[in-house]
Each structure stands twice: as structure tokens, then as C-alpha cells.
Structure 1
Amino acid sequence: MHDRERGLERLHEVTADARARADVAVGRMFGSEGYSVRSKLFAFVSTDGTLVVKLPEARIEELRLDNMVMRGSPMREWATVPYGAGADDWATIVADALAFVDEITP
């Protein structure tokens, strides 16, 4: 199984509760399956199987995560979570990302 497929499988597992919400959708984003709340992206898996989530800067620092880098620049509120972090960590971080984006999205 390729890294992205493995990551997508885990993301699907840890988003069961989120997908049950009427305002959460799954679609193609950044060339991968992504999860959004009211059309605002909060989580997806990169080509290397890494989870990418939108979180407040303080939470990214607290979790000691790396920022996602796009075109050579770190994205302030986007963090990467390695596959090796484990499913429980992914579940917690995805829930945090959903709560954050839900709060800031009208």
C-alpha cells in the first residue's frame, strides 16, 4: 500500500464522527481527499501519507508540529502530523482541527 493510501485509510477511520455531521464534506483538495466544514478545509493527507490540518498557531507550537510548507513558505495555521504519530493522536488532532475551523467559519 502506498503512503498516501495508508494515510487516507487512517484519516477515514479517525473521521467517522466528523463525517456523521451534516456540515462536514469529503472531497478532492490539493490532489487528495480532504475534509471540510461548511466548505472550509480542515484536514487532508499529503502525497507522503502525512496528515495536514488547520490549527491555531499556539496549538501547533503546543503539539510541537511542523508547519506545512507551500512553495518554500511555512503556512502559519497549517501543520503536518507524521503517520508515525499513531491513530489516537491523529484522531485528537483532527478533532481539534474540526473544532477550530468550525469556530472560525460562519
Structure 2
Amino acid sequence: MDDRERGLERLDAVTDELRGHPDVAVGRMFGSEGYSVRGKLFAFVSTDGRLVVKLPEARIEELRLDNMVMRGRPMREWAVVPYADGAERWATIAVEAHAYLDEITP
């Protein structure tokens, strides 16, 4: 199993409860499938197996996460969570990302 498959397996496990929400669906962005709220992606797995989530810029700093970098540019509201941080941290941050997108998505 490669890093991405391993990450996808973990994301599937830690988002089991979130997928039960009627407004959560599988979406596609940045060339990857992930989970969305009313069409807006909040969590997916990068090609190297890290969790990528959308959170407010200040919260990313508080959590001491790195920003996702795309074409050499850090994306200010997208953070990466290493696989090594563990399933519990992934679950907590995925729930927080869902709540953030749920709040700002009409």
C-alpha cells in the first residue's frame, strides 16, 4: 500500500461519523477526492498521504500546522496534517474543518 492509499484508508476511518451528515458528500479538488459540505471541500489526502484540511488562517497557526503549498505558493486557508500525527489528531482536525466549512458555506 502506498502513502496515499494508507492516508485514504485512515481518512475513511476517521470521518465515518461525519459522512453520516446529510450535507457531507465526496467531492473532488486539487486532483484528489475528499469530503465536502454542500459542494465545498473540507478534507482530502495529498499524494504523499497527508491529511489536507481547510481552516481559518489563524487556527492553522494555533495548531502549528504547515500550509499546503501549490505551485510554490502556500495556500493560506489549507493546512497539511502529517500521517505521523496519528488517527486521533486527524479525526479531531477533520471535525473542526467540517464545522468551519459548515459555518461559512450557504
* TMscore range, shorter length: over 0.9
Q: Equivalent residue for 1:51?
A: 51
Unmatched runs of 5 consecutive residues or more in structure 2: none
CA RMSD, Structure 1 to Structure 2 (Å): 0.8
- 1:28 CA displacement: 3.4
AA partner of residue 45 (structure 2): V
Alpha-carbon contact 1:53-1:78 (below 8 Å) kept = yes
**Please, what TM-score do these two structures have when normalized by structure 1?**
0.96
| Distance in 1, Cα, partners of 2:28 & 2:2 | 18
In the TM superposition, what whole-angstrom CA distance separates every residue of 1:67-93 from its partner, at most 9, and x where no partner exists? 001111110100000000000000000
Runs of 4+ deviating beyond 4 Å: none
- 1:29 CA displacement: 2.9
Residue 22 (structure 2) pairs with residue 26 (structure 1): no
Q: Equivalent residue for 1:105?
A: 105
For residue 60 of structure 1, give the secondary structure of its aligned residue in structure 2: helix
How many residue pairs were aligned? 106
**Please, what TM-score do these two structures have when normalized by structure 2?**
0.96
AA partner of residue 13 (structure 2): E
